[in-house]
């Protein structure tokens, strides 16, 4: 717990701008010139993160536009959709060695594009022939999945967890694709307690028996404990990192909080990469 506490403290200090000598002062090791050999060992995603001294960029104003978030549905032949297909193939490859039916998608903080990734990964996975896919919105503070997909839920996850509704009543079929959604409608006063409850574990287990793939859109990992609780209920976890926005300290802290052993991979969102010819 001490390591996790230190990681959270460092991330919070970086975000709030506090001057904490134990946290903010750059170490001598960080200031040393980076050798070419060290650069080769550096993770790919780290090249797209702001430096420790740089402030994170503001989110673009249209990042949350629903039509731009359903890329895999509206532009199935696009470069971005193809990257999600590649991700699906890699997850399927891992699943050939051990069962992976339930996947949590999380991010360190808000504004990283976590829901974009969850929706598009679920959409692309649902394109697989004969595969039943369910997308579960687990953010009972600021739910976005139903807005992104243009759904109007009459009931949702909170009602299921409090036995006010059945799964059959809460799950919605998305028109035009073999995807179903368990949305959030009611915003309960105790979302973290519901996520960590025995009833939530029971629901996840029941869904894993009914669907081939269950994707859980989690709240931010460094702000509330829900992502940690969800990751312990599922077979694996994907961490979304936003290029030129997510501080490296937040990535490292989230990896510590969520347990690196559960990480299936990192999704680098909003990276400026020139696509190959032939993609839109």
**Structural domain count, the chain:** 1
260: number of Cβ within 10 Å = 12
242: number of Cβ within 10 Å = 26
Q: Which conformational region is residue 69 in: left (phi greater than 0), alpha (psi within -120 to 50 degrees), or beta?
A: alpha
The predicted pLDDT at position 273 comes to: 66
The predicted pLDDT at position 73 comes to: 54
The predicted pLDDT at position 39 comes to: 44
Helix (H, G, I), strand (E, B) or coil at 223: coil
The predicted pLDDT at position 1 comes to: 47
Residues of the chain with pLDDT under 50: 1-5, 7-8, 11-12, 14-40, 44-45, 51-68, 72, 279-280
The predicted pLDDT at position 95 comes to: 87
DSSP state of 234: S
Q: For the residues of 13-57, what is the DSSP string, one character each? A: HHHHT---TTTTSPPHHHHSPPPHHHHHHS-GGGGGSPPTTSPPP
pTM, two decimal places: 0.74
In whole angstroms, how far apart are CA 42 and each of 38, 244, 259?
A: 6, 16, 20
Q: Evaluate whether residue 52 is within a structural domain.
A: no
Q: Which conformational region is residue 244 in: left (phi greater than 0), alpha (psi within -120 to 50 degrees), or beta?
A: left
Q: Evaluate whether residue 7 is within a structural domain.
A: no
The predicted pLDDT at position 53 comes to: 31
The predicted pLDDT at position 125 comes to: 94
Q: Evaluate whether residue 72 is within a structural domain.
A: yes
Q: Evaluate whether residue 2 is within a structural domain.
A: no
Q: Evaluate whether residue 274 is within a structural domain.
A: no
Domain ranges, residue 132: 68-269
CATH number for position 200: 3.40.50.300
The predicted pLDDT at position 91 comes to: 92
Please compute Rg for the chain using Cα positions: 19
Nearest to 52 by CA among 19, 28, 29, 25: 25
Phi and psi, residue 270, nearest 5°: 65, 25
The predicted pLDDT at position 239 comes to: 95
Q: Evaluate whether residue 115 is within a structural domain.
A: yes
Q: Evaluate whether residue 244 is within a structural domain.
A: yes
The predicted pLDDT at position 100 comes to: 93
The predicted pLDDT at position 18 comes to: 39
The predicted pLDDT at position 158 comes to: 98
Q: Evaluate whether residue 50 is within a structural domain.
A: no
């Amino acid at each position: 717990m001490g390591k996790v506490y230190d990681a959270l403290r460092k991330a919070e200090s970086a975000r709030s701008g506090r001057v904490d000598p134990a946290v903010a002062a750059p170490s001598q090791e960080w200031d040393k010139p980076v050798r070419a050999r060290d650069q080769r060992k550096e993770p790919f995603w780290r090249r797209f993160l702001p430096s420790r001294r740089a402030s994170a960029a503001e989110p673009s104003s249209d990042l949350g536009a629903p039509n731009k978030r359903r890329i895999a549905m509206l532009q199935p032949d696009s470069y971005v959709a193809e990257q999600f297909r590649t991700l699906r193939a890699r997850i399927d490859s891992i699943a050939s060695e051990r069962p992976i039916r339930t996947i949590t998608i999380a991010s360190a903080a808000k504004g990283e594009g976590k829901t974009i990734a969850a929706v598009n990964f679920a959409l692309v996975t649902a394109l697989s022939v004969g595969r039943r896919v369910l997308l579960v919105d687990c953010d009972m503070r600021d739910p976005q999945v139903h807005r992104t997909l243009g759904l109007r839920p009459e009931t949702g996850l909170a009602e299921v967890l409090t036995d006010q509704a059945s799964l059959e009543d809460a799950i919605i079929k998305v028109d035009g694709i073999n995807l179903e959604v368990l949305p959030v409608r009611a915003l309960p006063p105790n979302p973290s307690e519901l996520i960590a409850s025995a009833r939530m574990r029971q629901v996840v287990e029941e869904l894993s028996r009914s669907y081939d793939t269950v994707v859980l859109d989690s709240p931010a990992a460094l702000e509330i404990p829900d992502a940690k609780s969800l990751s312990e209920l599922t077979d694996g976890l994907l961490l979304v990192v936003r290029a030129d926005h997510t501080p490296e300290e937040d990535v490292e802290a989230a990896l510590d909080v969520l347990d690196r052993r559960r990480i299936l991979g990192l999704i680098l969102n909003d990276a400026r990469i020139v696509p190959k010819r032939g993609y839109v």
